[in-house]
């Protein structure tokens, strides 16, 4: 021990000893910094490279420590250093400690730590004694084996402590002990090793080969070692900072990727998964660790090669639970640092498909009834025809009779209940391959499907009518309603759905005309009827223009004196090729085709012109149809007819029925009030056959009430009919409204009406309707008619 201390104090300069300590400490610290940078790396290649750099720094630091201390060695005579041995000793140190770092980077198990301590001891001892042999001087050198063994032993102990205790990834403070133990290991080898060497000066020994002077070695060592060590530490520190920033950036990118609703899968050039986000984990039902390294394409549900940029496909994938999930997959190829990657963006389509289904339900279903709507019904009908599966099936249109009356009497909530119950009953009747739909309001439709033969369609439609005609319970009330149905069999050659629906609608119209609560199938007979009706429509559209209409007049007389008081203008159609057509044969068609407004306008104008040439006490009455009464131009037409003809307004009487005013009594009251201000007379026609509402008579300004001919004609045989006539007469008397009896055909009827205080009547007893010349002959006569002429 004394010899070692003497070697340090007497043979080494203190400055160089301190410099050696500094170099060794700096090298150990730098090596630890670089080594831990390698531990932070995730790529195996980067870990190996950083570990190698750490070994190089350690070897260079140990080698520098040795030769800095050698520079402070003063044996008492001039010495030099063999350049080749010096350089080779550095390579020995670097190679040995690189090997140590490569072992340590793979793990920190006890065997690996022990192996590292052994390799480090072997490297340091070899480097020291081989480097010590680079000393060149005029002297002989011998070694004390005891000191050599002691140096090796202490080196092994201190390196054992370094790698067993002083290297830690969790408790970084323990790495300081690693620096201390490394310094002690290097110092023990150097100073004990130097103490083991005895030098015997001999004159005359010459230097051979490449040698370095003390000054050269000093400059080389101090500048080179310090520069390399500092640069290494700064580089490692900078790289650690950059790495930390990169980690933070990657973490932010990862958070951004994890916040994406799409599943993101990144695959390498071999198609293996290298990264996934949280959405992909949730979608695939597996953890990231379970997905890494697996083939990406099967995971994304791809069985075909995609084309385009970006590539896109709708497919389905099966997650870890075996659930098939509809997805949209978009892929894009990227290159990063010469490495190729493929990014798979996987969008879960379940929510979109659910929303689409809701939208389709809103677009193609009726919200109140839950049935298909008109659009869905037409789409299905078109699809059946296009696919050729509609032949011999049927379209059935159903309509609730007097549904408006249900709403008016019980309220709209009751109407909704009826609609819902109707839909429920239809749904129970329609076969699985059929379709029930609500077209709007109280209109429903059925596609029967192929399970109902064409021969059974009318019977099935009748079942539907019967089911829909049963009472519906609403808030404890039994609401009675009925339905009518029209059906059309779809032929094998059918292609125009508008014609099919028109045919079914015609059958429905015929069912209602037959008395409602009936079902009709469109057949050849109906076809001929509607073709004839269509021909009437076509002819009517030109009848006014061609001046084919004429007015016939029937007198209205005083019941007591039979004196003519006025004439009712009745239209006739002189249709070319068909003779004289009565109103009952074309007025309904005119109502449906809107020609009735033109016909009614012509009637008013012609009647006013004719009456203007009569005696001033004679009036004329004109019938208004329900549709004409709703014509916004009606008031203007009447006023213009009076103006152009010069007829006094009080001589014109307009006859309207209850059906013309029932749907909007307020509008009717306003219009009738305008006519009253104009001076025109208003008569309520066919009283007793419609609603016979006392409210109408009370609220509306009628000048006359006309009893329907059906009651008058039945008086002779039906006392109830006479009772109705008598009641109407009494009502008129109590309200001071004159009452006219229509349809008087016998003297008995006339006498009985007179006895019941009926003041006016008309009918075949007095005169049949006659054209203008005959009417004029009556007017220019005595204007008193005693019987039918």
Tell me phi and psi for residue 697, to 5 degrees.
-65, -35
Query: Is 683 found in the same domain as 558?
Result: yes
Query: Is 404 found in the same domain as 313?
Result: no
Beta bridge partners of 315: 327
Query: Tokens 């790396």 appear where?
Result: 41
Question: Would the pLDDT of 229 be above 80?
Answer: no
User: Residue 126 corresponds to which tokens in the numbers above?
Assistant: 């070899």
d(C-alpha 721, C-alpha 743), whole Å: 13
Q: Given 209, 239, 269, which residue is the final one in a domain?
A: 239
Query: Is 603 found in the same domain as 626?
Result: yes
d(C-alpha 319, C-alpha 282), whole Å: 9
Residues of the chain above pLDDT 90, percent: 24
Count of structural domains, the chain:
4
Query: Is 568 found in the same domain as 501?
Result: no
pLDDT of residue 485: 94
- Scored b (16 or more CB within 10 A) or e, 429-447 reads bbeeebbbbbbeebbbbbb
Residue 205 per-residue DSSP state: P
Among 71-80, 471-480, 743-752, name the one with the lowest average pLDDT. Answer: 71-80
Query: Is 553 found in the same domain as 514?
Result: no
Q: Given 309, 328, 352, which residue is the final one in a domain?
A: 352
Query: Is 589 found in the same domain as 516?
Result: no
* Structural domain boundaries, residue 433: 366-522
Asked if residue 508 lies in contact with residue 399, where contact means CB atoms within 8 angstroms, the answer is: yes
The confidence band for 404, taking pLDDT boundaries of 50, 70 and 90, is: confident
Query: Is 400 found in the same domain as 323?
Result: no
pLDDT tens digit sequence for 635-654: 999 999 999 999 999 999 99
Query: Is 322 found in the same domain as 458?
Result: no
Rg (CA), the chain: 58
pLDDT of residue 750: 93
Beta bridge partners of 212: 81
* Domain assignment present for 549: yes
- Scored b (16 or more CB within 10 A) or e, 236-269 reads beebeeebeeeeeeeeeeeeebeeeebbbbbbee
* Domain assignment present for 251: no
* Domain assignment present for 508: yes
* Domain assignment present for 589: yes
Higher pLDDT, 129 or 11: 129
pLDDT tens digit sequence for 243-285: 666 666 666 666 666 667 788 888 888 888 888 888 877 877 8
For residue 140, CA distances in Å to 12, 79, 603 come to 19, 12, 153
* Domain assignment present for 137: yes
CATH number at residue 269: 3.30.450.20
Minimal CA–CA distance to 179: which of 22, 54, 25, 23? 25
Asked if residue 778 lies in contact with residue 567, where contact means CB atoms within 8 angstroms, the answer is: no
Minimal CA–CA distance to 207: which of 89, 83, 91, 86? 83
pLDDT tens digit sequence for 650-687: 999 999 988 788 767 788 888 999 999 999 999 998 88
Minimal CA–CA distance to 660: which of 687, 698, 637? 687
pLDDT tens digit sequence for 434-455: 899 999 889 999 998 888 888 8
* Domain assignment present for 532: no
CATH number at residue 427: 3.30.70.270
Pure H helices in 75-199: 83-104, 110-132, 145-164, 174-187, 193-195
* Domain assignment present for 787: no
Query: Is 313 found in the same domain as 191?
Result: no
To 10 degrees, the CA torsion angle through 9, 15, 17, 20? -170
Query: Is 610 found in the same domain as 738?
Result: yes
* Domain assignment present for 578: yes
pLDDT tens digit sequence for 42-92: 677 778 888 888 888 888 888 777 777 776 666 655 666 676 777 788 888
Q: Given 474, 489, 522, which residue is the final one in a domain?
A: 522
Query: Is 546 found in the same domain as 517?
Result: no
Residue 381 per-residue DSSP state: H
Query: Is 135 found in the same domain as 63?
Result: yes
CATH number at residue 605: 3.20.20.450
């Amino acid at each position: 021990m004394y010899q070692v201390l003497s070697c340090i104090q007497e043979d080494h300069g203190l400055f160089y000893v301190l410099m050696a300590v500094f170099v060794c400490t700096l090298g150990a610290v730098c090596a630890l910094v670089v080594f831990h940078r390698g531990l932070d790396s995730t790529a195996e290649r980067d870990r190996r490279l950083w570990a190698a750099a750490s070994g190089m720094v350690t070897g260079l630091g140990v080698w520098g420590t040795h030769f800095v201390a050698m520079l402070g060695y003063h044996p008492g005579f001039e010495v030099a250093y063999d350049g080749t041995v010096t350089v080779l000793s550095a390579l020995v140190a670097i190679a040995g400690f690189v090997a140590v770092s490569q072992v340590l980077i793979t793990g920190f198990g006890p065997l690996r730590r022990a192996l590292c301590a052994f390799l480090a001891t072997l490297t340091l001892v070899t480097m020291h004694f081989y480097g010590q042999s680079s000393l060149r001087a005029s002297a002989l050198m011998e070694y004390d084996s005891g000191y050599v063994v002691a140096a090796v032993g202490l080196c092994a102990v201190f390196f054992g402590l370094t790698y067993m205790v002083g290297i830690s990834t969790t408790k970084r403070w323990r790495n300081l002990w690693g620096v201390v133990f490394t310094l002690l290991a290097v110092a023990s080898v150097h100073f004990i090793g130097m103490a083991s060497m005895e030098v015997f000066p001999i004159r005359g020994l010459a230097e051979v080969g490449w040698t370095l002077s003390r000054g050269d070695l000093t400059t080389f060592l101090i500048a080179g070692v310090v520069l390399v060590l500092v640069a290494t530490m700064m580089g490692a520190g900078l790289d650690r900072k950059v790495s930390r920033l990169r980690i933070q950036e990657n973490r932010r990118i990862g958070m951004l990727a994890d916040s994406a609703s799409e599943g993101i899968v990144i695959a390498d050039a071999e198609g293996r998964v290298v990264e996934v986000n949280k959405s992909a984990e949730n979608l695939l039902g597996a953890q990231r660790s379970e997905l890494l390294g697996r083939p990406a394409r099967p995971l994304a549900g791809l069985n075909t090669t995609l084309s385009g940029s970006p590539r896109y496909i709708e497919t389905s994938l099966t997650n870890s639970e075996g659930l098939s999930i509809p997805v949209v997959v978009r892929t894009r190829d990227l290159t990063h640092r010469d490495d190729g990657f493929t990014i798979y963006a996987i969008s879960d389509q379940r929510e979109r498909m659910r929303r689409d289904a809701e939208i389709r339900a809103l677009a193609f279903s009726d919200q109140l009834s839950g049935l298909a709507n008109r659009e869905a019904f037409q789409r299905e009908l078109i699809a059946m025809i296009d696919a050729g599966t509609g032949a011999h099936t049927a379209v059935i249109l159903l309509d609730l009779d007097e549904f408006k009356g249900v709403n008016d009497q019980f309220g709209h909530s009751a109407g909704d209940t009826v609609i819902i119950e109707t839909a429920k009953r239809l749904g129970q009747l329609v076969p699985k391959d059929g379709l029930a739909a609500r077209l709007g309001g109280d209109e429903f439709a059925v596609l029967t499907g192929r399970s109902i033969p064409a021969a059974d369609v009318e019977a099935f439609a009748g079942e539907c009518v019967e089911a829909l005609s049963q009472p519906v319970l609403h808030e404890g009330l039994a609401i009675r309603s009925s339905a009518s149905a029209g059906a059309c069999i779809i032929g094998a050659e059918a292609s125009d759905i508008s014609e099919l629906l028109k045919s079914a609608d015609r059958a429905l119209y015929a069912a209602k005309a037959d008395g409602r609560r009936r079902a009709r199938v469109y057949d050849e007979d109906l076809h001929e009827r509607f073709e004839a009706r269509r021909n009437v429509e076509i002819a009517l559209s030109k009848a006014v223009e061609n001046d084919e209409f004429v007015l016939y007049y029937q007198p209205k007389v005083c019941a007591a004196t039979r004196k003519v008081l006025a004439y009712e203008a009745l239209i006739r159609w002189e249709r070319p090729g068909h003779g004289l057509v009565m109103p009952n044969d074309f007025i309904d068609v005119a109502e449906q085709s809107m020609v009735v407004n033109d016909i009614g306008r012509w009637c008013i104008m012609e009647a006013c012109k004719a009456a203007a040439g009569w005696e001033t006490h004679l009036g004329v009455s004109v019938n208004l149809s329900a549709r004409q009464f709703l014509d916004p131009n009606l008031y203007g037409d009447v006023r213009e007819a009076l103006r152009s003809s010069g007829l006094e307004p009080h001589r014109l009487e307009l006859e309207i029925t209850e059906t013309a005013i029932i749907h909007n009594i307020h509008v009717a009251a306003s219009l009738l009030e305008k006519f009253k201000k104009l001076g025109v007379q208003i008569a309520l026609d066919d009283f007793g056959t419609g609603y016979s509402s006392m409210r109408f008579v009370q609220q509306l300004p009628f000048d006359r009430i006309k009893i329907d001919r059906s009651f008058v004609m039945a008086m002779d045989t039906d006392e109830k009919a006479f009772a109705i006539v008598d009641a109407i007469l009494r009502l008129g008397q109590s309200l001071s409204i004159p009452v006219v009896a229509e349809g008087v055909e016998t003297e008995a009827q006339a006498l009985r009406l007179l006895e019941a205080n009926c003041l006016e009547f008309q009918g075949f007893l007095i005169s049949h309707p006659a054209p203008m010349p005959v009417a004029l002959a009556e007017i220019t006569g005595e204007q008193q008619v005693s019987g039918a002429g």
